[in-house]
Copies of this chain bind each other. A is one copy, B any other.
Amino acid sequence: MSRLRIFVATLAFAAAPLAAAAQSAADVVVFNGRIYTADAARPIVQAMAIRGGRVVFTGDVAGARALAGPNTRSIDLAGRTVIPGMTDAHAHVVGLGDKLQAVDLVETKSYDEVIARVVERAKDTPKGQWILGRGWDQNDWGNTNWPTHDALSRAVPDHPVLLTRVDGHAVLANAAAMRAANLTRATQSPAGGEIIKDAQGNPTGVLIDNAENLVARAVPAPSRAQVKEMITDAIAEMHRWGLTGVHDAGASGLTLELYEELGREGNLNIRLYAMISDHQPTIDAWFRRGPLVGGHNGMLWVRSIKLYQDGALGSRGAALLEPYSDAATSGLLVSPAAHIKDVASRALVAGFQVNTHAIGDRGNRLVLDSYEAALKERPTADHRFRVEHAQILHADDIPRFAQLGVIPSMQASHQTSDMYWAGNRLGEGRLRGAYAWRSLLNTNVVIPNGSDFPVEYVNPLISFNASVARQDANGWPAGGWYPEQRMTREEALLSMTLWAAYAGFQEAELGSLTPGKHADFVVLDRDIMRVPTSDILGTQVLSTWVGGRNVYERR
């Protein structure tokens, strides 16, 4: 695996005049790279200098070196590629932390291995505290029958344990967990779910679909300290993948408090654009307080609300104008349209942005209608209202985004995850308006990109690859799925940098390597702007920098 040469230069550049160095020496100089700035004034440069957490120079190597002093950290990129720090414009931070804290059972090769991993976790976990895990798949084991809880319960008797199957459609609970949930041989399987029982009629610990919740509901909510740890873990994980910013698509009052607490402590090491969850008291409190813009030293923004219009496509919850192609339903509304309109109206008064989840074509139309009505009552420049996902659009609605000044915030990763079955749900005709990036870009909107982790993987290059190839990791389908909707690489890079910043009102501070802006950047081992698309997903993040600080380095 390739490494980046990083060294601290004590007197690297003897030629640099001491006077200049003393006055204004850079903290960090990176050079000998191919640095994509996302700034049209200097699109690609060889070197960059950083002072006080901000970019102070982009250009030639000698020019950057001229800013080095005796205490400057000098990074020889050795030809590597640098891009602006990526921002995931739609993701769930605490959800990721929760997932990270679960025992990782992905690719376990036997039930014994699963048990061994849980035993290992139990050593560090106070007795009685729940242990959660996820990722097992009995098809990878020698014996592909459903497991039974006995071996697990013997090995881990003093902690309730709940282990989710890789696809989320089954869990395995141990005896302590079933006791805690009061699940007994007398418990009946619910509609849409099954409690697997043995020949004697005792629960085996395996619960299918709607039966999962019989135990899951007994898992206590995480404590404040646990949530804080989830956030910290999630931030570290994002750094690993080259993210220097994230838009949290729905933060509770507690989460917002913890973001601020981390900010005050100096431990919020990612540009966090938090959307307030649709919880009236929390929203009202923030409307009274007013927007928080670049708080805690440029790390935290709270100036937007996350709403839900409809459900998801996979579960046929996305609201469609015509019924699903594979079921006699048109989806559902999570919120009445009047609610979206009401919150939007109040947000315009309070100076907040509204970002509403809409997946189906009906969901999207309703949100656009609500936004339009609110904006008609109170015309507002630069509201930057967003539709989150904007997955399936009626042709008539595509131009409305630009007309209304509404931003389609899309997750390219969903396209490659959904393409195998989206046609079944929607039929050929509606696919033409699905994940329709090019059609939207042609109306002159910008598209902030994201992953929707932990629903999808954190790695933002999955969305980058989907954006430019519309192919999965195996290069399927050849030529791409509805390839006429692809983005260019330039657009894809902007969608994860400057356009994400724009969607968060941050473009003057973030999103490009422009002198004066925060020095958020990523060093990659491949040039994602030039390698064949089949090589994009193999790209490694070598280091991640937030405000000129190295927050992740690949060893």
Residue A403, interface by CB 8 Å = yes
Which of A9-17, A100-108, A282-290, A547-555 lies at the binding interface? A9-17
Residue A66, interface by CB 8 Å = yes
Q: Is A44 touching B444 in the complex (CB atoms < 8 A)?
A: yes
Q: Is A405 touching B494 in the complex (CB atoms < 8 A)?
A: no
Chain B residues, Cβ within 8 Å of A56: 381
Residue A38, interface by CB 8 Å = yes
Chain B residues, Cβ within 8 Å of A20: 380
Chain B residues, Cβ within 8 Å of A499: 41
Q: Is A383 touching B63 in the complex (CB atoms < 8 A)?
A: yes
User: Secondary structure at chain A's binding surface: helix, strand, loop or mixed?
Assistant: loop
Interface residues of A in 480-530 (CB under 8 A from B): 494, 498-499, 501-502, 507-508, 511-512, 516
Chain A interface size range: 35 or more
Interface residues of A in 362-407 (CB under 8 A from B): 375-376, 378-383, 402-405
Residue A42, interface by CB 8 Å = yes
Contact A381/B59 with A40-B498, A41-B499 known, Cβ cut-off 8 Å: yes
Contact A376/B41 with A63-B383, A381-B59 known, Cβ cut-off 8 Å: no
Q: Is A63 touching B502 in the complex (CB atoms < 8 A)?
A: no
Chain B residues, Cβ within 8 Å of A375: 62
Q: What is the copy number of this chain in the assembly?
A: 2
Q: Is B382 touching A63 in the complex (CB atoms < 8 A)?
A: yes
Q: Is A57 touching B382 in the complex (CB atoms < 8 A)?
A: yes
Contact indicator per residue, chain A 425-464, by CB within 8 Å of chain B (1) or not (0) = 0000000000000000000101000000000000000000
Contact indicator per residue, chain A 40-61, by CB within 8 Å of chain B (1) or not (0) = 1111111001000000110111
Task: Name the residue of chain B whose CB is nearest to the CB of A383.
Answer: B63
Q: Which of A62, A378, A381, A501 has the most CB of B within 10 A?
A: A381
Chain A positions near chain B (C-beta within 8 angstroms): 13, 15-17, 20, 38-46, 49, 56-57, 59-67, 375-376, 378-383, 402-405, 444, 446, 494, 498-499, 501-502, 507-508, 511-512, 516
